[in-house]
Structure 1
Amino acid sequence: MRPPLLNPLFAPVTSLAGVGPKQDKLLRYLLGRDETPRLVDLLLHLPSSVIDRRARPKVRDAVPGTVVTLEITVDRHRPPPPRNSRAPYLVYASDDTGDVVLTFFRAKPGYVEKLLPVGAKRYVSGTLQMYDGMAQIVHPDRVVDEAAFAKLSGIDPVYPLTEGLALGALRRAIAQALQKLPDLPEWISPEVIRRCHFPPIEDALTRVHVPIELTDVLPDSPFWSRLAFDELLAGQLALALVRAQLRRPAGNRHTGDGHLRKKIIDALPYALTTSQQKAVAAIAEDLRQPVRMLRLLQGDVGSGKTVVALLAAAAVVEAGKQAALMAPTEILARQHIKTIAPLAERAGLRVAILTGREKGKERREILARLEAGEIDFLVGTHALIQDDVAFKALALAVVDEQHRFGVRERLALTEKGEAVDVLVLSATPIPRTLVLTYFGDMDISELREKPAGRQPIDTRAVPDTRLDEVIEAVGRALSAGKRVYWICPLVEESETVNLTDAEARFKSLQQRFGGQVGLVHGKMRGADKDRVMAQFAAGEIGLLVATTVVEVGVDVPAATIMVIENAERFGLAQLHQLRGRIGRGSEASTCLLLYREPLSEMSKARLKVIRETTDGFRIAEEDLRLRGEGDVLGVRQSGLPGYRIARSDVHAQLITQARDEALRIMKENPKLAGPRGEALRCLLYLFERDEALPLMGAG
């Protein structure tokens, strides 16, 4: 139950004056919510910069192109002529040193007269420009009388916005939300507050939204840092609660005698790498222990994680139990089953797949077999955690690409069995600091080597002015029977616009190469995507134009060339993932990074790293250094995925402190009892980490 104290902050934004259905829709988009945002969402939407209105020159001394605040007297109005609505509404004003014109376009009749009555003294603020030798301010940002001016700090926050939402409207909504802030209890321990010089939470929120100094809104200010620590602590505490639940003593353990694992290893066309052998041994040891396994298996594209997951599944099946693997996308789930099925068959392991595509009778049959224990290993998507999916004896949950799943999904799968062991796979090697942030103290296995027989990839950066040469080279490759990927960017902010990129490129290449070209993108139906992918895999088409839907889980060993258009628009991890689609067979491969000039310093650095190395662990570290975690985990473009306030580059040292604090809380007060426990529950609800709270009552 949410502490009643927080109810005012969980009221919908539409309860504020001036926030109607139109603003609700815009705020949902801005704040990334499916339903109407709440006041707490507004308060945690922090400014990106400030406008300093403290410069108060006389008109004569005002510097053109700067933001100024002038104390003026209104002299006269000049409305636009009746038949010319496009002409501006002009207000002539002055001080004792000179004149200034205030210009309004499309002003509502009566609005300007009320705002600037003739003869009145007003304070106006905005960017001053010279026009025909006359000082003017177009649409002043602020027009206030003396009483209102006395209340202004002179520093205005500027927020990230979305098209159609005015800055003034957002500021007014946030100001109202601040008024509703209840008296919150302190959840940070006194020694951490002392050590980090943190202000109380109310002061932190107020000073970030109503800055007194220009530095108040910087991420390294004590105000922003306090909020970042709160957010990190909520995340770490939720992980610690989950971990405590998953780490409880588990009764009968899930490891068999090794006969199925031996059959699978014998069926492999190659020997396991050293790090695969180590990972398999570590997992077998975990499965023998009296506590549940919680292990992260991370390795580069193509390092053989699926085979390790299959051997882990075989270990529990030997003990008469079942295993499940949950992947974030259908493409990925089908890719896993393609690797798993032939090996499982040789070992006599019964596998099946369950995604949104299995419907009706087919789905009912799978569920019946699962519940009867006739399926040993079920692979699927979110479909696995639906209520009607019941296992006879689930003992192992393998979760792929973990950072795309929340704590909630992780738990939903483990709840379908008794004392379920958890193995998490990540195809993007994750730097140590991030492992702590997203996974808590998980045990880690790393797959460092590439499987035998993989060929190196020659990576080159080419300016897009040489596009024609690249198309010529692709033509020669197609004539030689080679298979080619052509990747176009799909930027989240305007998917609709950028989809035409892929479609336009497809059309232009189709004109050139005819039926040899196929197209795959995220807006297509699953069955259509699969059909085109199958044609490409079978060699019926030689050139596949695609968006980043092929980033994970697409395996066509015969593909040896990849062209990535607008490569400067992708993050390092994404470029690395995309490039990992080639170099999977025995032939040498080439990756061409087409970029548009001029390149920013960041883009130059990224393209340099990707050309120099194919080591995913090094790439992940470089990515973290260059741009923060957002792209290392491939979720958002910058900042910590799942975190709105904490920034890796600024708050890295707070991650460790938040983790230590969470572990100390779990040691001293694991049930979150008493006043401090109640305060911590408030924290978990405020930052939407409360999904871990029901666990404390469980088991």
Structure 2
Amino acid sequence: MSTRPEILFPLFAALETLGGIGPKTAKSLETLGITLPRDLLFWLPTAGIDRKFRASVTEVQAGDMATVEVEVGAHRPGRTRSAPYRVEVRDALSTFELVFFHASSRWLTQQLPEGAKRVISGKVEHFEGRVQIVHPDFILPPHEADHIPDFEPVYRLTAGVTGRTMIKGIGDALSRLPMLQEWIDPELKAREHWPDWHLAMSAAHTPAGPDDLSAQNPVRRRLAYDEFFAHQLTLALARAQVRRAKGRVSIGTGQLRDKVLAALPYKPTAAQTRAIGEIEQDLGAGLRMNRLLQGDVGAGKTLVALMSLLIAVEAGGQGVMMAPTEILARQHLEGIRAMAEVAGVVVEILTGRDKSAERRRKLAALKSGDIQILIGTHAVFQKDVEFQDLRLAVVDEQHRFGVAQRMQLGEKGQASDVLVMTATPIPRSLALAQYGDMDVSVLDEKPPGRKPIQTVLVSDNRLDEVVERLRRAISDGAQAYWVCPLVEESEVMDMTAAEERFKHLRAALGEGVVGLVHGQMPVSEKDAAMADFVAGRTRLLVSTTVIEVGVDVPAASIMVIERAEHFGLAQLHQLRGRVGRGEAASTCLLLYHAPLTATGEKRLSVMRDTEDGFVISEADLEMRGAGDVLGTAQSGLPRFWVADLEHQAGLMAVAQKDARLLLQQDPELTSPRGHAARVLLWLMRQDEAIRLISVG
């Protein structure tokens, strides 16, 4: 079914076909991402107004809504056009005023004739001892009172669209709701007490009270599940497509790996051994591997990556490892080369910096198979980079590479397997949303010898003590980082600029002891400052967050983070992970400026209480929301209209299991439920998935 099913046509018509929406309103709705009647259906209310009928305005607090029947009394027009026009009215228990500004007296006498009965709904206010409702939302004769909902849904709006227009447009879209066949597994639906799709959709837009707006309400959960299921079905189809593509069988002899393991000063952790086993199984299965290796800071991903690359080499092929930046690529080279040389494996690096002759030499060696493992930046994507037999591609810090680039990389080898590594612990629900097409290996223990890092919260009014303590530590041979919030001095935020802090610390600790690195510096200066610190020529490195990812200086054992309350949890966790890599016991000082906000305090206490990146990431998700945790702009997270990753996370895992199971039982989606699922994919605009089905 590669054309949209006819039953959905009314929901995919032009917005202007809905009542009350002309070209201008349609243009305004576009700024919210609403371009079809279908989108309006998924634009659920975010709040509601209680408009239940009351006997009198005296029953509600000032600031609340009241809907009451009144008898209209005297009109008191203002002396000038801009003065308020007041109308006295009486409900069952009290007399109060309706107040209008810039209103036409002719219109008011028609709407509110003296002596007539009217039903009024609006916000009750107290002004100079009098009760009043300014510009009531509804003024209706009693026989039309049922036009006022008991609980009125409130929608997020944009300039040029009023609440009334939104409600009218949505009402018209609801009148087009088709009766669709069920795509949810019947047992799951019964167990969760979920209504049918069309009933859920209309109930979501007619909430009876605040409980109906909660993410845990069965109606909302059902609609969220539909989105998660469509998303996971798309990923499962992509996964099936990859797995259908002929893979290579890469079975290693174990010889090279044994040499490396024998030379290691420690034993790999159980988690490392388990992950290597999962990867080895994938590589030998003859299906395309598409695996995510998720490990916390310092959990030993490099060893797992090297072992995986060695399997490819043992099987007679080559491997490539890609990093997002040159600094990281060079660091991987240092980390891997020494271990690989023990096994006699040739490792080389390719970056944008390679000059023409040098580059040609490397490309020739790669094509002839003389280079067995290549490490590089995105420079390895270029057309002229050819491998003799690429078996495995390892991609580091995945969130900088899109799915499309993963595919491109796979095309460099006949059927190369892909292993993606991330050092950012991602909550399970987000990992499923972002990497649901992949299989996941988790490194959840630290290698032996990684000492715990003591984390201390210190108010910045004790700055002098901190500097004094640093002086003592440095004279005892320690090295330290000092991370500053911002580079430029800005009036708006009284943050201490890195340059100011650098001058201050240099004055306190002496010339030549303190180095400086920040984002505005020329690359050569930055590299020189880093080199001085790595070599131990400088003992304290003042920096902005440029050191966050991947910088490895085992001798550094103290991390000071200034104005720590302004950093996100994930960032604090990454920064703290820069210390604790050597022999010395390490400390992380979180300097904060009192008083802390409740969120700031919670964030810093989480950091103090745990070093577990997964616990930290779940707390981060709870506090900031999915988009911010992954940085929505480049996160590759789908846009969910109804589903809420923070509060409905459990549904994502159910959806993944169900989607994979459905495809196992019905790979072509030809059963009745399979057909219903195809309709769901069209409804959710999952064009990619539909393309995969028609290709399949």
Pick the TM interval, shorter chain: 0.7 to 0.9
Deviations 1:76-111 (A, max 9, x none): 5767968xxxx775554533542324365xxxx679
- Whole-Å Cα distance in 2 between the matches of residues 116 and 584 of structure 1? 80
After superposition, the C-alpha distances for 1:297-316 in whole angstroms (9 at most, x for unaligned) are 33221122023212312321
The structure with the larger Rg is 2
Contact 1:518–1:543 (CA under 8 A) maintained in structure 2? yes
Check the 8 A contact 1:68/1:126 in 2, yes or no: yes
Report the CA distance shift for 1:628/1:143 in structure 2 as closer, same or farther (over 3 A).
same
State, as a whole percentage, how many aligned pairs show the same letter: 42
Q: Which residue of 1 aligns with 2:608?
A: 611
Q: Measured at CA, do residues 190 and 302 of structure 1 come closer, stay the same or move farther in structure 2, by a change above 3 Å?
A: closer
Q: Distance in 2 between matches of 1:124 and 1:526?
A: 68
Q: Which amino acid counterpart does residue 90 of structure 2 have in structure 1?
A: D
Aligned to 2:303: 307
1:119 correspondence with 2:117:
no
1:230 Cα deviation (Å)?
0.8
* SS in structure 1 at match of 2:414: strand
- CA distance in 2: counterparts of 1:570 and 1:532, whole angstroms: 24
- Structure 1 match to 2:423: 427
Following TM superposition, by how much is the alpha carbon of 1:152 offset from its aligned partner in structure 2, in angstroms? 3.6
Deviation of 1:158 (Å) = 3.9
Query: Counterpart of 1:482?
Result: 479
Segment drifting more, 443-452 vs 474-483: 474-483
**Equivalent in 492, 501, 505 of residue 513 of structure 1:** 505
Shift of 1:229: 1.4
Q: Give the Cα–Cα distance (whole angstroms) in 2 for the partners of residues 117 and 488 of structure 1.
A: 63
Matched-pair contact (CA < 8 Å) for 2:125–2:133: yes
1:658 corresponds to 2:655: yes
Closer, same or farther: CA 450–135 of 1 in aligned 2, 3 Å: same
2:32 pairs with 1:27: yes
> Which string of whole-angstrom CA distances, capped at 9 and with x for unpartnered residues, describes residues 638-678 of structure 1?
x9964734446754554454344323311331112255434
Question: Where does 1:212-231 land on structure 2 (aligned, <5 Å)?
Answer: 212-231=208-227
Alignment counterpart, residue 133 of structure 1, candidates 126, 129, 136: 129
User: Structure 1: which amino acid aligns with 2:421?
Assistant: L
Match of 2:688 among 679, 691, 698: 691
Paired letter, 1:3: R
Partners in 1 of 2:103 and 2:355 — Cα distance?
A: 62
Partner residue in 1 for 2:66: 68
2:678 pairs with 1:681: yes
Aligned partner of 1:31 in structure 2 is none
The alignment partner of 2:580 has SS state of coil
Matching residue's letter, 1:130: H
Contact 1:573 1:631 in 2 (8 A): no
Amino acid at match of 2:498: F
1:81-480 equivalence runs, <5 A: 91-96=86-91, 97-102=94-99, 119=112, 125-137=121-133, 142-143=137-138, 145-146=140-141, 150-159=146-155, 178=174, 184-248=180-244, 250=246, 252-258=248-254, 260-261=256-257, 272-273=268-269, 275-326=271-322, 335-337=331-333, 339-340=335-336, 343=339, 347-353=344-350, 376-379=372-375, 393-402=389-398, 410-429=406-425, 439=435, 445-464=441-460, 466=462, 469-470=465-466, 473=469
Q: Counterparts of 2:521 and 2:169 in 1: how far apart (Å)?
A: 39
Q: 1:45 to 1:444 in 2, by over 3 A?
A: same
CA distance in 2, matches of 1:390, 1:44: 47
- Secondary structure at the aligned position of 1:578 is classed as helix
- SS of match in other structure, 2:669: coil
Q: CA deviation at 1:532?
A: 6.7
Q: Which of 549, 552, 557 is residue 549 of structure 2 equivalent to? A: 552
Deviation (angstroms), 1:506: 2.7
Q: Deviations over 1:473-514 (max 9, x none)?
A: 567667877332325399xxxxx9999759654355245236
Distance 1:489 1:3, change over 3 A: farther
Q: Which amino acid aligns with 2:183?
A: W
Given the two structures, how large is their TM-score scaled by the length of structure 1? 0.76
User: SS state of the match for residue 418, structure 1?
Assistant: coil
2:651 and 2:462 mapped to 1: Cα distance? 46
Q: Which moved more, 1:58-67 or 1:2-11?
A: 2-11
C-alpha displacement of 1:55: 4.6
- The alpha-carbon distance between structure 1 residues 399 and 596, as it changes in their structure 2 partners (threshold 3 A), is same
1:537·1:556 contact (CA, 8 Å) conserved in 2?
A: yes
Matches within 5 A, 1:548-587: 550-565=547-562, 567=564, 572-587=569-584
Q: 1:343-371, CA deviations, whole angstroms, 9 ceiling, x for partnerless residues?
A: 5577443433457x999999999888867
1:381-409, Cα deviation, whole Å (9 max, x unpaired)? 67766888765543223244456766555
* Aligned residues: CA RMSD: 5.1
Q: Is the 8 A contact 1:236 1:662 kept in 2?
A: yes
Structure 1: which amino acid aligns with 2:241? Answer: Q
> C-alpha offsets along residues 176-205 of structure 1, whole Å, 9 cap, x if unaligned?
655665554432244433332222323323
Q: What is the CA-CA distance between 1:579 and the residue it aligns to?
A: 1.4
SS of 2:416's equivalent? strand
- Partner SS state of residue 27, structure 1: coil
CA contact (8 A) 2:15 2:26 kept: no
The 5 A counterparts of 1:526-545 are 537=534, 542-545=540-543
Q: Which amino acid letter does the alignment assign opposite residue 4 of structure 2?
A: P
Q: Which moved more, 1:52-61 or 1:665-674?
A: 52-61
Is the CA contact (8 Å cut-off) linking 1:536 and 1:543 kept in structure 2? yes
- Relative to the length of structure 2, the TM-score reads 0.77
Look up the match of 1:17. 22
Specify the code of the residue in structure 1 equivalent to 2:446: K
Q: Which residue of 2 aligns with 1:51?
A: 49
- Does structure 1 conserve the Cα–Cα contact (< 8 Å) formed by 2:98 and 2:135? no
Does the CA contact (< 8 Å) of 2:246 and 2:288 recur in 1? Answer: yes
User: Secondary structure of 1:667's partner?
Assistant: helix
Q: Post-superposition shift, 1:288? A: 2.4
Give the structure 2 partner of residue 33 of structure 1.
none
- CA spacing shift, 1:136–1:378, aligned 2, 3 Å: farther
Cα distance change on mapping 1:131 and 1:678 into 2, 3 Å: same
Contact preservation (8 Å) 1:198, 1:223: yes
- Hey, what does 1:593 align to over in structure 2? 590
Query: Helix, strand or coil for the counterpart of 1:313?
Result: helix
Q: Deviations over 1:221-253 (max 9, x none)?
A: 121011121122223323332333344484641
Deviation string, structure 1 residues 573-603 (Cα, Å, up to 9, x no partner): 5433331122223333221234466667776
Query: How many residues get paired?
Result: 673
User: 1:536 offset after TM fit, Å?
Assistant: 5.7
Q: 1:340 to 1:487 in 2, by over 3 A?
A: farther
Unpaired runs of 5+ residues, structure 1, are 29-35, 491-495
SS of residue paired to 1:210: coil
